[in-house]
Each structure stands twice: as structure tokens, then as C-alpha cells.
Amino acid sequence: MKILSVISTICLVLLGSSWATGQTTRGNPKEGQAVYEKSCLRCHGNKLDGNGPDSQDLIVRPANLQSPITRSKTDWELLVAISNGVLFSPMHSFRGKLTDQQMLDVLSYIRTMGPPDVVS
């Protein structure tokens, strides 16, 4: 069954390169959870609902990462928010603070924490 492993390797490579186009997450949610707890939880909260301990003091409230509006965004859009920050908001840029891999990890953590998709 060598051919199968060759095929799956090729698929993995394709999957890996497609994060640049923003549709596939290849982060590690376990690692991402640690990153989240260290860097994001104080604003976005342990339920990812934007009610972290520091959120009360912010004029622009942190995004509810569980909301349909955030969940419907592509991986690329969310990665841009994480790496560049959100203009005119306390969501600052994490570029240079987190590695690309850590940003993918935290994104996949956010994705795994989402409620099951609601079919409308």
C-alpha cells in the first residue's frame, strides 16, 4: 500500500501550501490553546465569547469568536486580523509576538471550539 501513503503525502503537501489561499487550517489546536490562554483569553474570554477579564475596560469590545459573523469568515480573514490587528481597536498585531505556526495553532483552536454549525 505504498502508493496510498505517497498519495496522502502529496495531499498533505497540497493542504499545507493552501493556507496561503486561506481555506485550510493546519494548526495544532492543543498548542493553540496554550497560545490562546496566554495571549487572547484576557480579552476574548475562556468561552471565546469576547467576555474576558479585561474586556470590560475596553471601549471597543473584543469580538465574540463564537458568533456566526466571525465563524463565517475565512481562515485567511481571521489570520489577517491576528497578524495585523484590527484597525482602531485594542486588537493589536501579533506579528513578531507569535510565530506563523502559533497563529495557525490558535486559529485551529478557535475553529475547534466553535459550536456545531447551525444550518439556517
Q: How far is the CB of 21 from ligand HEC (least distance, A)?
A: 18
**Cβ atoms 39, 99 nearer than 8 A:** no
Residue 51's nearest CA partner among 64, 68, 60 is: 64
**Cβ atoms 98, 35 nearer than 8 A:** yes
Build a one-symbol-per-residue string for 51-80: x at contacts with ligand HEC by CB under 6 A, - elsewhere.
---x---x-x-xx-----xx--x----x--
Q: Which grid cell is 26?
A: 493546519
**Cβ atoms 33, 109 nearer than 8 A:** yes
Build a one-symbol-per-residue string for 25-44: x at contacts with ligand HEC by CB under 6 A, - elsewhere.
--------------xx-xxx
Interface with ligand HEC (CB under 6 A): 39-40, 42-44, 54, 58, 60, 62-63, 69-70, 73, 78, 81-82, 86, 89-91, 94, 106
